[in-house]
Structure 1
Amino acid sequence: MEEERDSVPRHYFFEKMNEAVNVLVECVDAFGPDDLLPYAEKVMNERVNKLLDMYLLAKMLEDEEWMSELQQRLKQISGFSFYPDRVKIR
């Protein structure tokens, strides 16, 4: 039982659990916090394209688990908006 507790991570980083936040953290690390929006939008679009490419590969390989993981990541990133006053209709 003690071994089990030792293997459980003590810290969770939100950017490792949410795709959109991960992109923002990468942008801040690369470009700094000032004038982040143009870079973040570009990187976010690139990430969506990368995830879609990976999804196509997972589908060709018939890897259901990988497809499911990629769907979750795509949902996180597609639900994110840089403009909170704009409404997304699904």
Structure 2
Amino acid sequence: MSGPPSPLIENYLKEAGFWHVANIGRGCKLDLKLISVFIERWRPETHTFHLPCGECTITLEDVQLQLRLPMDGSVLTGSVQSAD
């Protein structure tokens, strides 16, 4: 896992409501076998997982709920210029 976000962008992440997203997964151990099973069951042509109980897909609402992303603010848009 990578380290915490740079202190230079910490306030921007907090202001945008994304600070907790930048810290997701800290201290979590990945289950590589479980990840492999999901990769094997992914069908890119339908964007679904084929499981014994049926088809399953992940929606934007699922992501919003799991990551606790705010849905009541203004849209955040902008461009980024690379230093390269």
Q: For this structure pair, what is the TM-score category when the shorter chain's length is used for normalisation? A: under 0.3
- Structure with the largest fraction of helix: 1
Q: Which has the higher contact order (CA 8 A, sep 6+)?
A: 1
Instruction: Please give the TM-score of this superposition, normalised by the length of structure 1.
Output: 0.23
- Structure with the largest fraction of strand: 2
